[in-house]
A = this chain, B = another copy of it.
Amino acid sequence: MTTPQHVIATYIIETSMPLLHAAEVLAGEQSTGTFVRVARESDDVRARFAAQVESVDELEPSAFAPLPGTIGDPAERRRARLRLRFPLDNFGPSLPNLLAAVAGNLFELKELAAVRLVDLELPSAFSDRYAGPAYGVAGTRRLMGRPDGAMIGTIIKPSIGLSPDELAEVVQELCDAGIDFIKDDELQGNSPASPLVERVRAVMPVLERHADRTGRKPMYAFNITDDIDRLEANHDLVVRAGGTCVMACINLIGLAGLEYLRRRSALPIHGHRAMFGAIGRSEQIGISFRAWQKLARLSGADHLHTNGISNKFYETDAAVLDSIAAVREPLLGLTPTVPVLSSGQWGGLAHATHAAVGTTDLLVLAGGGIHGHPDGARAGVESMRDAWASAARGDSVQDALAASQPLRRATELFGPARD
């Protein structure tokens, strides 16, 4: 049971030990320290501090080879969903210290042939300490002047290598195309070849001129990822130039780095998930997106990459849709974070996505879907906006295609639209 004084962590484990024994090894290792009692580990200590096995539900076995170093008879291997209850008092509402308990040494236990943290239930002490997003959906919409409908965005390509003048040209084209949002690539940090200061200098006048003319300033997420001590200066550079968003690669500055940035940021933070695959892709080890995104939201991510359906990466549509749903679920009263759909996105995916997620409170990023549209970027943006508006009205894909020339033209390149 969830209480204000406990954290519940859910794992999928495989083990050749009896399931309850393996669960107790895990709980012991991650709380009072050892499965075997040591001196001064009194009943009182165990009662107050021991993690408790809340439930063990056996699952169908997997076909995976055990993780390296696993002990026990492979023929005895079983799989289970395991819920452990940790006293909040063991770590307090500190995300780094929470992680030591729920995601620390446990990945190295040789009793476990697989171990994956798949969910976390956190008490409100965490939202008392961590503010979460400052802008979220509503703040992002306000800053980009897009009060409703899917927010349509793109990534600067090529990822790296553009001169400031070329970058300004690309941004101008995208402004003219009616884009809501543009972001640096995660590979474009603050490199000698394209320093952040020069990118800001090149981009902002283009955005400002566009805003003067149209009343709308597209949001540009400048990638300010760098050492912790440089984050604030990088952020301030963007603020001073009139920018409206900073981007950070969460796993590269750390969740703790994101939280540090959040405390200083005057702008929405676009949270990129680069390196997430290292902990998230295997089904045998690591941390699921569902668990990780809670930590990222508490740490202040206004936007959070979820991938999109029909993407170029490894994730199935079901996994992506679960990620989007997870980011949209309420979390301790925090301001809602915007899911960011990207990779292989184009207008023809709007209906299928909308049917599954039921909202347009999304930032949908298309690279080829915009830059690569047969009639250019303007038609690319229109094709996406038309498709999302149609989906939001409840029209069919066929209606959308009949009504939108840019969407029809997009299908010539990207194939049939999905419904």
Interface residues of A (CB under 8 A from B): 30-34, 38-41, 45-46, 48-49, 63-65, 67-70, 88-92, 94-97, 99-101, 103-110, 157-162, 166, 170, 185-187, 189-193, 225-229, 249, 251-257, 259-260, 263, 274-279, 281-287, 312-316, 367-368, 371-372
Closest residue on chain B to residue A66 by CB atoms: B314
Give the complex CA separation of A73 and B67 in angstroms. Answer: 24
A-B interface, 6 closest residue pairs, ranked by CB to CB distance from nearest: A254-B254, A69-B314, A107-B277, A97-B189, A33-B159, A45-B161
Residues of B contacting A107 in the complex (Cβ-Cβ under 8 angstroms): 275-278, 281
Give the complex CA separation of A372 and B253 in angstroms. Answer: 40
Q: Tell which of A67, A96, A110 has the most Cβ of chain B within 10 Å.
A: A96
CB–CB B32/A94 < 8 A:
no
Say how far A353's CB is from chain B's closest CB, in angstroms: 18
**Known A39-B371, A101-B187; contact A227-B33, beta-carbon cutoff 8 A:** no
Q: List 10 A-B contacts (CB under 8 A).
A: A38-B158, A40-B166, A49-B193, A99-B249, A99-B274, A103-B275, A104-B274, A107-B281, A109-B314, A228-B228
CB–CB B38/A94 < 8 A:
no
Q: Tell which of A92, A278, A312, A314 has the most Cβ of chain B within 10 Å.
A: A278
Closest residue on chain B to residue A101 by CB atoms: B187
Give the complex CA separation of A277 and B260 in angstroms. Answer: 25
Give the complex CA separation of A283 and B69 in angstroms. Answer: 11
Give the complex CA separation of A353 and B189 in angstroms. Answer: 43
CB–CB B161/A105 < 8 A:
no
Say how far A32's CB is from chain B's closest CB, in angstroms: 5
CB–CB B256/A90 < 8 A:
no
CB–CB B160/A105 < 8 A:
no
Instruction: Give which listed residue, B96, B170, B187, B274, contacts A90 with CB less than 8 A.
Output: B187
**Known A68-B283, A161-B32; contact A275-B99, beta-carbon cutoff 8 A:** yes
Give the complex CA separation of A70 and B186 in angstroms. Answer: 23
Give the complex CA separation of A367 and B281 in angstroms. Answer: 35
Give the complex CA separation of A403 and B202 in angstroms. Answer: 75
